[in-house]
Structure 1
């Protein structure tokens, strides 16, 4: 039998994590604040203190870091000498503060970010990022690719927020694009094939953007900020004319126009990262 593991939090991701530990043969103890969440098959449900006492490894998957501290603060003495692996999403600063709190209570601490959906947990498709002073393979049952990013406990959360920035900004863009299309009587099924084509450009944009930032090279070889601002203005005008909120694109246009006004109109989009850093 592999070593016992405790999972705190039985939301969709916490439940998937507990399922994966059970499937891998771990004695799995679980806890959730609300009793309405179902107990994963094969896991043992316990009160908070008993759940923590049952294992040397405690995996925490809650709503945010405030919830993590609210749950862990009262049981700090029970956690002493144990390894807490916190895969709750949050900011790098919150991760570092939680790691400092753990160190002050004699608790080993690893912070993590799960970058794939619940249905990937326990499969080869799972992607986990981990950081902290303790490098551990305690999450091997969760499968997939697990990358240790170093001793800075905020490192995994830093990657998490940066990658989710790409995801959620893109998702909101998709929602806005479909609204704009429908206002012009373009059906979702008509737009979707061409929208997928636009999406295939993103890997090229990401690679080129990263290379330009690494090299400090921002010239608008193929497209410049003036051209980008003009395209954004067309979107804003059309959205406003159809009564569709254009706030996200207005913010993007304001950032771009600011860079143009600062004398960088002939530069490419990578200049906007520099503009954001100096704002």
Structure 2
């Protein structure tokens, strides 16, 4: 059965943690579904992982929309969540609603994720009120890279209290789930215990209700990855091996072979 927002929340109370991965294209999304992933995040991490940018900041609404549509068309079971890119929300409420609503109305997402702060509490409430489910995101928020860098967040008592307070405020505003990124595990544990909505950790320890990673890290597609990630395969190595095999076969004249070609006898005397 397809995973709905309500089902996602119910599964958080089950024995097995929720699983979420990013995906930016149909083949990766289909593989995630086949592997039994509960949710797919069409993350603005596509900026670094798929589009060749140095950060997530250049990612546009159009890019997220296009890739959200691809993921939604390729899957039936997982919850599909569109990640709202930098400046697509929080500047103007009407524009925020339009951009977020487009992901559901036109591209087939089931929910959106927004990098959160004090400025997104009211927006979360407004989005939820019009039927746009919101996954909040606290801790390391890459869209604030110019302010925060990529360092661990919530390491002081003051910063931890702020994250905990914002988590409660976003739950009260109607968020259906919360991503906690690169925060101390004991902070994530306390936030998870305090909230009734599921927490999804990334670099936040084992006690969240679920986990999320960037698919490139899980697949082993990049040379480097964050300290909280792990490669569960070597897809890059397999890709290089396959491409090297193709190049060698073409250069040696072994490809295309007879079985890869079609001969039409009536064309033998064309010239």
Q: Which has the higher helix share?
A: 1
TM-score of the pair, normalised by structure 1: 0.31
Of structures 1 and 2, the larger Rg is shown by: 1
Q: Which has the higher contact order (CA 8 A, sep 6+)?
A: 2
